[in-house]
Chain A
Amino acid sequence: MAGRAQPVSPWPGAGAAALVAALILGTLAAVALRAETSAGFGPADWAALRFTLVQAVLSAVFSVALAIPVARALARRRFPGRRALIALLGAPFILPVIVAILGLLQVFGRAGWISEVLGLFGLSPLRIYGLHGVVLAHVFFNLPLATRLILQAWQEIPAERFRLAAQLGCNGTAMFRLIELPMLRRILPGVLAVIFAICLTSFAVALTLGGGPRATTIELAIYQAFTYDFDLGRAALLSALQLALTVVAALAALRFSQGDGFGAGLDRAIRRWDGGSPLFDVFWIGTAAAFLLLPLAAVVISGLVGLFEMPALVFRAALISVLVAAASTAVLLLLALPMATAVATGRYGIVELCGILGLAASPLVIGTGLFILIRPVANPTTLALPVTALVNAVMALPFALRILVPAAQDVVTRHGRLALSLDMDKKTFFTRVLLPRMQPQIRFAAGLSAALSMGDLGVIALFADPHIATLPLQIYRLMGAYQMQAAAGAALLLLLLSMGAFWLLDRGGRLHAET
């Protein structure tokens, strides 16, 4: 429909997209230019590459393999609390990584609950640090995501297929082969690729549970090049390697997932006739729920004790985190709303592409680039907090656009003609029609962005000096100083702040399906 008038202007959005592209591509260019001066890869770098790939493959395979029976059980059983459980599967997305890690340590750690039970039988305690700890934490975060994606595909199988198969007398195995296996074959490559890509950029998990020459991811190696050696050239070289990896993985994920999206409509249980033992499904649902809920319960329980032992530093860090999250959310909305508007006018797909550029570059890569760019003109550590807020906003942008773009498109198609026929100007349409009509989605995106920023432990670790910290970084430092009680208390505080920010902004804490 070339030449047709639009009720809103795409230009502010195009400008925002250009800013985002300049930021991301500019930092990448800085990284690439700086990396050339370095001496090439050493054995430690190859080890980091190998470990990054191995842990990402294992994390993806375990997450998906465990998610299949859980999703199948959720798809074919109805029970009280099913909806709540499915909503809970969305929670790890906004759960601060450091909080989850403290919970996992409390359950699976050397002095954790399981080790204590093992000790009763004279068995040696579990060891969580290293490859299996990293994979365990990644499965904790990605099993729910995989379950939601697979469950969605399961629910999309038309009920008529199951009816027909039942009428033909198919038993459980035959039905699985006839209907469910083809569906899994279609969707699993995409799910695997998405989780693989997510785990490639893992930093906070590797920082806390990995480490040492045998369990260092590339992101962690970038951080170490920064903080231990202050070798910018090596950090840049590693960043270039990380960038190449994430771009390939992101392309693969996009290609395999073919816009399946994070989807909606997970509340319908399909009626099935193939029976099967309910015990099997009960086992999987129970195990998955326990695996997700126990670490959270551990954070709450040990945090309640620790709340009264927190040093004043924690409260200062909490205040800083709230301010950073607020700034990051404001920046996100200033970028995402015009961009979503531009995409909704239908001719600016490139704007959306700029928005998802953030998926290709990891926070530490962008952080490295910004550090290189800022250092000649200012002391980067004095800009630690603004940089953190900005990078957090850019990282939340792809998710925000996913939420905002369909809503903006809907408003423009639904109300655009009327506004045009009334001669409403573009600014008025934006403020009086688009923003009010998109309020639920804006609130949801803002809530997500605030929670993600609040819990982020990434760029801040690169930039911060010892005197300043966000709450996640402060928790990490307390853990490093073996002040586990205080760390647990701070983790509970962080959990409350993240979830509280999400709930406050999204009002009522409605967990939409788009996560």
Chain B
Amino acid sequence: MLKLDGCLIENGSFSLQADFTVETGSSVAIIGPSGAGKSTLLESIAGFRDLKRGQILWNRGRISDLSPGQRPLAILFQDGNLFPHLTVEQNVALGLRPNGRLSGDEQAEVQNALTRVSLFGLGGRKPAELSGGQQSRIALARVLVQRRKLLLLDEPFAALGPALKAEMLDLVAGLVAETGTTLFMVSHDPQDARRITSHTVLVADERAHPPASTKALLDNPPPSLRDYLG
């Protein structure tokens, strides 16, 4: 269970309040007008932005004092999810051992993850030699070996075409269902939210609202969301 307990986040001139709970294993979309603070919210949960007030709890343990790498979560950013000078395998291996060499078992685990995202045999390549969709798959393979209980997506598939993006989202949905991972996903496309999330957090008017049923929210949007959806 992820709990944002009376959180206040400040970013320059604007601030964002968040006070809600997300059940373990659920998939939650974050939707709202651009500039409302969707990414800011995710950055705070991931530990890249300090809270002005409040705390963040995971299964009743306080995580808001931990450094980003210590938190029980994996995050994919809009871009820069891979090190371009490292091979596919090396990039995935960083999810297991960010600072050292892999054991034999761990190497096998990296190969399994690559197979799971249909990249088997491409481990020796550099990311730039692969397509955009394949690059997203590398990052997902790394998320797999990280085995974190919470996955944050800050629109990592935004640069992909519609069909490829849908394919990636389905892959993500399959992976989180299989591992019981809690998914927290920023999106500016309501179709993405409908596709793989059960609940949605609306970020608008300097507030991150508690999760509501995605279908109900999008079928019958409140005024602030209606303006955005058009």
B72 to chain A minimum Cβ distance, whole angstroms, is 11
Cα A433 to Cα B46 in complex, Å, equals 21
B77 near A436 with CB under 8 A, answer no
Contact with A along B133-157 (1 / 0, CB 8 A): 0000000000000100000000000
The listed residue with most B CB atoms (<10 A of its CB), out of A414, A421, A427, A436, is A421
B81 near A423 with CB under 8 A, answer no
What is the interface of chain B mostly: helix, strand, loop, or mixed?
Answer: loop
A418 near B70 with CB under 8 A, answer no
Q: State which residues 1-60 of A face B: CB under 8 Å.
A: 3-5
Given contacts A4-B50, A5-B68, A417-B77, contact A422 B98 (CB under 8 A): yes
B80 near A437 with CB under 8 A, answer no
Contact with B along A405-433 (1 / 0, CB 8 A): 00000000011011111111101100011
B68 near A425 with CB under 8 A, answer no
Given contacts A420-B68, A425-B98, contact A415 B77 (CB under 8 A): no
A4 near B48 with CB under 8 A, answer yes
The bracket for how many chain A residues form the interface is 20 to 34
Residue B95 at the chain A interface, CB threshold 8 Å = yes
Complex interface: chain A residues within 8 A of B49 (CB):
4
Complex interface: chain B residues within 8 A of A421 (CB):
46, 68-69, 74-75
B83 near A433 with CB under 8 A, answer yes
Residue B99 at the chain A interface, CB threshold 8 Å = yes
Contact with A along B65-104 (1 / 0, CB 8 A): 0011110001101001111011000000011001100000
B52 to chain A minimum Cβ distance, whole angstroms, is 11
B141 to chain A minimum Cβ distance, whole angstroms, is 13
Complex interface: chain A residues within 8 A of B127 (CB):
none
B85 near A437 with CB under 8 A, answer yes
Residue B47 at the chain A interface, CB threshold 8 Å = yes
Complex interface: chain A residues within 8 A of B47 (CB):
5, 420
Cα A428 to Cα B68 in complex, Å, equals 16
Complex interface: chain B residues within 8 A of A418 (CB):
77, 80-83
A422 near B85 with CB under 8 A, answer no
CB contact between A5 and one of B67, B94, B146 (< 8 Å): that residue? B67
Cα A3 to Cα B77 in complex, Å, equals 21
A109 to chain B minimum Cβ distance, whole angstroms, is 51
CB contact between A417 and one of B67, B80, B83, B99 (< 8 Å): that residue? B80
- A: which residues have CB within 8 A of B? 3-5, 414-415, 417-425, 427-428, 432-433, 436-437
Lowest 9 CB-CB distances: which A-B pairs, in order? A423-B69, A424-B98, A420-B68, A428-B99, A422-B98, A436-B85, A425-B99, A421-B68, A421-B75
With contacts A418-B81, A421-B75, A425-B98 known, what are 12 further pairs, Cβ within 8 A? Answer: A5-B47, A5-B67, A5-B68, A415-B83, A418-B83, A422-B69, A422-B98, A423-B70, A423-B98, A432-B86, A433-B83, A433-B85
Give 21 pairs: A residue, B residue, CB < 8 Å, sorted on A: A3-B50, A4-B48, A5-B48, A5-B67, A5-B68, A414-B80, A415-B80, A418-B77, A420-B47, A420-B67, A421-B74, A422-B98, A422-B146, A423-B68, A423-B98, A424-B94, A425-B98, A427-B99, A428-B98, A428-B99, A433-B83
